[in-house]
Amino acid sequence: MSLQGLQSLLDGILMGGVYALAALGLSLIFGVLKITNFAHGAMMTVGMYVVFALGNDLGLNPYLALPFAMVLMFLIGFLIQRFPIHYIEHAPTHNQLLLTLGMAYILENVLLVIFTPNYQTLTVKGFEKAWRIGSLTFAPAKLIAFGVVIIVTGCVYYLLYMTNTGKSIRASAQNETGAKLMGINVRNIRAIAFGIGAVCTGIAGGLLTPIMSIYPTLGETFQLKCFVITVLGGMGNLWGALVSGLIIGVVESLSGYYLGGSWSEMVIYGIFILILFLRPTGLFGRGNRREN
Amino acid sequence: MLTITDLHVGIGNLKIIQGISLEVRRGEIVSLMGANGVGKTTFMRALSGLGHITGGTVEFEGQDITHATSQEIVEAGLIQVPEGRQLFSLMSVKENLEIGAHTKRAKARMKENLEYVYTLFPELKEMNSQAAGNLSGGQQQMVAVGRGLMADPKLLILDQPSIGLSPIMTQKVLKAVIDIHIRGVSVLIAEQNIHDVLKIAHRAYVLEQGLIRASGTAQEMAENAEIKAMYLGH
Amino acid sequence: MKTKKVEQGTLLVLLLMAVIYPFLSDRYMLSVGISVLLMALLGQSWNIMSGYAGQFSFGHAAFFGLGAYASSILYVDHGVSPWIGMIAGMAVAALVGVLIGFLSFRYKLRGDFFALVTLAFAEILRVLFNNTKALKAATGILIPYKDVWSEFQFANDRIFYFILLAMVIAATIFIGLMSRRKFGVCLIAIKENQEAAGSLGVPVLKYKLLAMAISAAIAAMAGTFYAQYYGFIDPTVVFSAAISVEAIVPCIIGGAGTLGGPLLGALIIVPLKELSNNLFEGVNGVNMIIYGVLIVLFVVFCRDGIYGTVIRRLKGARS
Amino acid sequence: MQYIMESERKPMRSKRIFLLLMTALLALSMVLSGCKSQTATDTIKIGSVHPLTGSMAYEGQAMVNAQKIAIDKINAEGGINGRFLELVAKDSLGTSSGAANAALKLTNSGVVALTGTYTSSSAQVVSRTAEKTRIPLVVTVASSDNLLSNGYRYTFRVQPSVSVFSQNFLKYLSYFKTDDMETVAFIYENSNYGAGISEYITDHIDETGLRIVGMLSYPATTSTMSSEVTKLAALDPDLLVPIGYYSDQNLFMKEVLERGIQFKKIVGCANGAFSDAKFLRTYGTQVDGIYDINYRYNPNSEEAQYMLETYREVYGEDIPVHAIYGYESIMVVADALKRCKNPDDPEELRDAIAASEIYEHVLPQGVIKFDEKGENINSAGVLVEIRDGKHIIVFPEEYADHDEVQK
């Protein structure tokens, strides 16, 4: 592989980390709660704007703004699940889709009203230049994002597998009746799970704020990519989401380098269709396949 | 301990349970018998707060739980081992048991209860880290009963625990029920397999078309010619 | 039998209204009327595949776009009348629909997964058309401006309106007739329980593919109309997810799997959207917030759709 | 069908539904057409159709902002023969049907002219609407080449189209082309604007003596430009031509600057980022030496100064260059209105616009005059250089400004 190929691979891995985190949120919501969430991109954008607002108006370092974004995102996620989504949990997929789409319109346009549609850019001091190792370059914001992604994924793993709340979440996902009969407040647990999903999504958005210029509908561009990653990794499978996030990042970057950016979209959707046909439980086979 | 008066339960517009009165006294094993589809499961689910109760009352330990949520009911000590076991199939046996101890009360006695479950079903200890979904039907039923015990029940409801089990497994489960009863837990058990269950029950009710058709002590029921003809079949 | 009468009655009333409407309205209202009908047609198309047969599509833009492109390319590059082009487009879309369906059903995709596959196909077509020079790539196709009926071009929008109305009526009658025959009963059986239907001897795959073909063909018809009426198409317009959404919205609002649902749904949501556009001109975004809220409220409080709920109430009144 | 089997229901219900629906229809038609009666007769209304929500909302809103400034200016100067202008702006929602409905709503409410629409697909739809309703449309921004190829009588375009920009590029090449410049690479977003320009230029590249070493296209919604930057760095063309919208081109430059890649010469063509004030605010002098062929105001025009300052004052930022054409579109309409005997007659207005000869305007071009297709015959972009963190017009010579125009 040429040096440029290597650089593309590296860029793909770093960007893939952010995709992975964004998809992790979707994977939780999609796999655990069985909700086809088309407000996912919009939720990401909310995270972006929270970090932007704190960074731009209060001068807070964007990475210090992340905890605030997390709290807010948790609340938003909790409320979205608790109010509208709760009522359509067992409704057909298209009802869920339309409802979350409606939520997306609301979120995006609330952002539009508050922040105007202007493109916003947040620059971080000291991040103007890439870091280098030999001839390879690392964009600092992407590198940090990658680190945060690993940490957050670890935390979510801990939360889901080591804590009582996490166990209740997984239990409710696997068997709602069983969970209720053990005295789990499934309604709250689901709202918490959605909240956690929203937090991951929001962090992913927040991490992108120093990387891209943001505008209210930016999240839409991540929507489908997140679905691809989620299905590829197996729904509800954390490590699956992480690995396939990286895969998609790398595929995008390499196909962008060798075939051109216009066709890399095509390659990703092609992979998506193949995976849906051939391994709908995901590459790692542990995701739960949904049937209606 | 559990007093049910004129209970009505529906699913959608359908009226499934049309006025059942039933009682479980402290220290009893009571059996609810009936053929497939007479509404046993609907009735049982309603007791745990998973049904649409349209009339009547359910009283547990002097407390009205007719419209309580399933959490409140579990907290009060009325625990159900549901039909079809409803395990968390991707989680390990150990995790399944741990989740059983979800309430505060149960958490406080978790260690003790876990030990008891392991003495009751020693094989569970060996399967601790296996995913519950990979176990055989009988093993799964043991996990389900164990999980119910982890919730520290005062009254344990078992909904058709022998369904799909081999005769040996069925015996094992019923033996466990006796053991549990000896330990001071009252039991309400729904069964199609009347022959076996009447051997361990004190009293029994027969459910038919959403109504109690007959009731009495286990012995009376076992000797009732009509019931013999209908359910015991031989 | 009375419910059936209500259904027929409602449809008749809708028809009557639709026929009178253009004579009461000015150009703007006529244009809104065309938006309503276009959404209704797309909705009807979605309805047969997803509402009746239960195969939930989120990629109807694929068929819509194919229809628009097939007739436009034939017209602009080869001088073929769009009337004929429309038939060709319907055939192409039906073929692609069957292909997508065959692959999906062969690999046993259902529910969300089927929806995502259709979405992915629509996106692939968008990228493909956007990057293929022979298909005019990103430049899109401009339809010549004429007033020649044989070329599906009219200076008078009222004629466009009635043509579209005829399409909606044709699609509705077609679906209505189909749904009352064995085909429709089988589709519902497939939706309720595919395995059971199969074991009862319903040719599941054949019927599902047939439903997809019909659905795709109707969407393609809408696509041709769109190209001819608005006069311009490009890949980002006709293959966009927004079109796929337009196919779903009226069905959910009106009631999926009911004959009048998509019609009523379109009749309600389009004017409401237009109304919020007109009422909240001052602060941008508020119109879309209102639209979002409307959708959320409809989905939460009217799960079977307005038409579906009315029908259910009527049936419920009996017991 | 499930319902067929059902029975027993009160009669008359279908009648009730009928009445209900008819009432709803009546109410709706009254509400929808309601604004008609509210028309205040003494203002002359100009309609504006732009995307005000969705992904193009910023561009659309800036356009409307600039139009408002133009309207205010005319009104402050006494309006049109004593009558004031009024801008009625509607959201096109960025869709064809949205644009058509918005345009018709405007023509309904009595506008004498339409302006719009930023996106080419909406412009195509609105131009057709203009033709049908016989109300003139002055395009603010829509660069698609085939916009006027249908022979519409009522559509006029002030701004340079894709091919004009491309011709400008080829013409202005002489300014920045050096003798040792041999290779050129393009990086462009692949919608009809980016792809259109790059295609036109490549078709005529032989005339320039340059050799194309790279044609990189990407979707405007991309979230990363890393592989493109890597590839271009390896190609190391003598001339790099980026064409795209603000957010994607900003992403591109960000990656280039982060990695410290020194391209020999970067000349954007209608680049959404390079000519934007925000771009300079973000990167300052780091982007010195970049050229862009783009929309611009005429630095020597006093009116342009007025427009700049007012925009900055009212909206707190520099006017985005595309919005200048929003401003000028109103001026074109106003100029024509002044020459009309009856300003309320769109037909007369159309003829007046067609006969426009505007010498005093804010654009860096000669007289504004339309050919028979409706295209502004002198439309042109200018070559802007970023020097000391500022935009300076360097070519053509007559619009070159060496004084500091902006702060």
pLDDT in tens, A229-243: 999 998 888 889 999
Give D320's DSSP letter: P
Give phi and psi for C299, each to the nearest 5.
-70, -40
H helix or E strand, kind and range, residue D277? helix D277-283
pLDDT for the residue D31: 61
Q: Which residues, including other chains, have CB under 8 Å from residue A244's CB and lie 6 or more apart?
A: A20, A23, A229, A230, A232, A233, A282, A283
3-state helix/strand/coil string of chain B:
CEEEEEEEEEECCEEEEEEEEEEECCCCEEEEECCCCCCHHHHHHHHCCCCEEEEEEEEECCEECCCCCHHHHHHHCEEEECCCCCCCCCCEHHHHHHHHCCCHHHHHCHHHHHHHHHHHCHHHHHCCCCEHHHCCHHHHHHHHHHHHHHCCCCEEEEECCCCCCCHHHHHHHHHHHHHHHHCCCEEEEEECCHHHHHHHCCEEEEEECCEEEEEEEHHHHHHCHHHHHHHHCC
Distance from A63 to chain C by nearest Cα, in Å?
Answer: 29
Structure confidence at residue D26 (pLDDT): 61
Quote the percentage of chain B above a pLDDT of 90: 64
pLDDT at res. C127? 93
Rounded distance, CA D72 to CA D75, Å?
Answer: 5
Q: Do A128 and D190 touch (CB under 8 A)?
A: no
pLDDT of residue D395: 86
Q: How high is the pLDDT of residue D24?
A: 66
Residues of B in contact with A182 (CB under 8 A): 74, 99-100, 102, 147, 151
Q: Distance between CA atoms of D343 and D136, rounded to whole angstroms?
A: 12
CB atoms within 10 A of CB D211: 12
pLDDT digits (tens, 9 = 90+) for B135-152: 999 999 999 999 999 999
Burial class (CB in 10 A: 0-12, 13-18, 19+), A82: middle
Token pair of D145 as six digits: 């080449």
Alpha-carbon distance D275 to D325, whole Å?
Answer: 14
Q: Which residues of A touch C245 (CB under 8 A)?
A: 98, 101
- Model pLDDT, residue C195: 83
C-alpha A235 chain-centroid distance: 13
State pLDDT tens for residues A151-202.
999 999 999 999 999 999 999 989 999 999 999 999 999 999 999 999 999 9
How is chain A classified by DSSP, letter by letter?
--HHHHHHHHHHHHHHHHHHHHHHHHHIIIIIS----TTHHHHHHHHHHHHHHHHHHS---HHHHHHHHHHHHHHHHHHHHHTTGGGGTTS-HHHHHHHHHHHHHHHHHHHHHHH-S--B----TT-SS-EEETTEEE-HHHHHHHHHHHHHHHHHHHHHHHSHHHHHHHHHHH-HHHHHHTT--HHHHHHHHHHHHHHHHHHHHHHHTTTS-B-TTTTHHHHHHHHHHHHHH-TT-HHHHHHHHHHHHHHHHHHHHHT-HHHHHHHHHHHHHHHHHH-TT-TTS-SPPP--
**Rg of chain B over all Cα atoms, to the nearest angstrom:** 17
Mean pLDDT of chain C: 90
For residue C137, the 8-state DSSP code is: G
Q: CA A66, CA A45: separation in Å to the nearest integer?
A: 13
The answer on pLDDT for B13 being more than 90 is no
- Residues from chain A contacting residue B79 (CB–CB below 8 Å): 181
Q: Which residue of D has its CA nearest to A8?
A: D227
CA angle D140, D142, D147 (to 5 degrees): 115
Chain pair A-B, CB pairs under 8 angstroms: 66
| Beta-carbon contacts of residue A4 (< 8 Å; ≥ 6 apart) | A257, D230, D231, D233, D234
Min Cα distance A103 → chain B (Å) is 29
- Say if strands B155-159 and B186-191 run parallel, antiparallel, or are unpaired: parallel
The residues, any chain, with a CB within 8 Å of residue D160's CB and separated by 6 or more, are D143, D168, D295, D376, D379, D380, D381
Binary contact (D96, C226; C-beta < 8 A): yes
**Residue from A42, A37, A44, A39 nearest A200 by CA:** A44
Partner C contacted by A108 (CB < 8 A): yes
Give the neighbours of chain C: at least 3 Cβ pairs within 8 Å. A, D
CB-nearest partner of A175 from B79, B88, B151 = B88
**CA-to-CA distance for C3 and D9, rounded, in angstroms?**
7
Q: According to the model, what pLDDT value does residue D405 have?
A: 43
Q: Can you tell me the distance from the alpha carbon of C136 to that of C130, in angstroms, rounded to the nearest whole number?
A: 8
Amino acid D104 reads L
Per residue in A197-246, pLDDT (tens digit) is 999 999 999 999 999 999 999 999 999 999 999 999 988 888 899 999 99
Residue among B49, B74, B88 minimizing CB distance to A171? B88
Q: Are A210 and A63 in contact (CB under 8 A)?
A: no
| DSSP string covering D228-240 | HHHHHHHH--SEE
Which of chain A's residues have a Cβ under 8 Å away from the Cβ of B49?
A: 180
Q: Do chains D and C touch by CB distance (3+ pairs < 8 Å)?
A: yes
Cis peptide bond N-terminal to D117, omega within 30: yes
Residues A290 and A273: their CA atoms lie apart, in Å, by 16
Please name every residue paired with D48 in a beta bridge, in sequence order, or none if there are none. D89, D115
Confirm or reject contact between C318 and chain D (CB < 8 A).
yes
Q: For residue D64, what are its two tokens?
A: 């409307």
Task: Give how far the C-alpha of residue D393 lies from the chain's centroid of Cα atoms, to the nearest Å.
Answer: 20
Residues whose CB is less than 8 angstroms from the CB of residue B101 and which lie 6 or more positions away in sequence, other chains included: B107, B109, B110, B113, B114, B150, B151, B152
Contact A255, A13 (CB under 8 A): no
Cβ–Cβ < 8 Å for A251, A259? no
Tallying the residues shown for chain D, one arrives at 407
Listed residue (D368, D97, D269) closest to C269, CA to CA: D97
Q: Which of residues 87-106 of B touch A (CB under 8 A)?
A: 87-91, 95, 98-100, 102-103, 106
Query: What is the rounded average pLDDT of the residues B68-95?
Result: 93
| DSSP state, residue C165 | H
Pairing type for strands D183-189 and D239-243 reads parallel
What beta strand segments (E) does D158-251 contain? 183-189, 211-218, 239-243
Q: Alpha carbon D281 to chain centroid distance?
A: 22
So what's the pLDDT on residue D310? 96
* Partners of B33 in beta bridges: B191, B206
Interface of A with C in 220-239 (CB under 8 A): 224, 227, 231
C-alpha–C-alpha distance, residues B114 and B147, integer Å: 9
CA distance D118 to D281: 25
- List per-residue pLDDT tens for chain C, 319 residues long: 567 787 788 888 889 989 999 998 889 999 999 999 999 999 999 999 988 888 899 999 999 999 999 999 999 999 999 999 999 999 999 999 999 999 998 888 878 889 999 999 999 999 999 999 899 888 899 999 988 899 999 888 999 999 999 999 999 999 888 888 888 888 888 888 888 888 888 888 888 999 999 999 999 999 999 999 999 999 999 999 999 999 999 999 999 888 889 999 999 999 999 998 888 887 889 999 999 999 999 999 888 888 888 877 777 654 4
Half-sphere exposure of D147 (CA within 13 A, CB side): 38
Task: Name which of C54, C128, C245 is nearest A101 (Cβ-Cβ).
Answer: C245
Single-letter code of the amino acid located at B112:
E
Strand partners, B203: B30, B217
The shortest CB-CB distance from D150 to any of C9, C142, C179 is to C142
Confidence at residue C254, expressed as pLDDT on a 0 to 100 scale: 92
According to the model, what pLDDT value does residue C202 have? 83
Rounded mean pLDDT, B157-186? 91
Q: Give chain A's length.
A: 292
Residues of B in contact with A281 (CB under 8 A): none
CA distance A223 to C58: 14
**Residue-wise pLDDT tens for chain D (407 aa)?**
333 333 333 344 555 565 666 666 666 665 665 544 444 568 999 999 999 999 999 999 999 999 999 999 999 999 998 899 999 999 999 899 999 999 999 998 899 999 989 988 999 999 999 999 999 999 999 999 989 999 999 999 999 999 999 999 999 998 988 899 999 999 999 988 899 999 999 999 998 899 999 999 999 989 999 999 999 999 999 999 999 999 999 999 999 999 999 999 999 999 999 999 999 998 999 999 999 999 999 998 999 999 999 999 999 999 999 999 999 999 999 999 999 999 999 999 999 999 999 999 999 999 999 999 999 999 999 999 999 999 999 989 889 876 544 43
pLDDT > 90? residue A50:
yes
Q: Which residues does residue B17 pair with via DSSP β-bridges, in sequence order?
A: B9
C241's tokens:
């997810």
Residue A279 has pLDDT above 80, yes or no: yes
Put simply, whether C132 touches D (Cβ < 8 Å) is no
Helix (H, G, I), strand (E, B) or coil at C144: coil
**Chains A and D touching, counted as 3 or more CB pairs less than 8 Å apart:** yes
- Over residues B85-100, the pLDDT tens digits come to 899 998 999 999 999 9
Contact C295 A277 (CB under 8 A): no
Contact B224, B216 (CB under 8 A): yes
Neighboring chain A residues of D258 at a CB cutoff of 8 Å: 127-130, 137, 139-140
- Mean pLDDT for the stretch of residues A143-156: 94
pLDDT at residue D20 in the model: 65
Phi, psi for residue D248 in degrees, rounded to 5: -70, -40
> Are B and D close enough to touch, i.e. 3+ CB pairs under 8 angstroms?
no
Amino acid code (one letter) for B48 = S
User: A178 and B86: CB-CB below 8 Å?
Assistant: yes
Q: What is the pLDDT of residue D8?
A: 34
Which of A177, A183, A286 shows the shortest C-beta gap to B71?
A183
Tokens of B20: 């059942």
ipTM: 0.89
What is the Cα–Cα distance from C14 to C83, expressed in whole angstroms?
27
